[in-house]
Structure 1
Amino acid sequence: MATNITFHPGTVSYGERNELLKQCGATIWLTGLSASGKSTIATALEQHLLHLHKSAYRLDGDNIRFGLNKDLGFSPKDREENIRRISEVSLLFAASTTISITSFISPYKADRDFARELHAKHDPALPFIEVFVDASIEECERRDPKGLYKKAKAGEIKEFTGISAPYEAPEKAEIHIDADKTSVEKSVEIIAKYLVEKGVIQT
Structure 2
Amino acid sequence: MHEESLTPDPQPWEMLSYAGLYLQVHDAADARRCLDVYDQMAHRPDVHVTSDQTRLRLQIGLALRILDAEGLDAHGHARRAQAELAPLLAQYPNSVDLHLAMGRVYQARGEPVRALAEDQAALKLRPGNIYALAAAARDAGGADDMKTARAYASTAGGGGARQPPDMGNPRRTGPDGPFHARTAFGPGPCPCAAVRHARRGALRAA
Normalised by the length of structure 1, the TM-score is: 0.31
Q: Which one scores higher on RCO, CA 8 angstroms, separation ≥ 6?
A: 1
More helix by share: 2
Normalised by the length of structure 2, the TM-score is: 0.30
More strand by share: 1
Indicate the structure (1 or 2) with the bigger Cα radius of gyration: 2
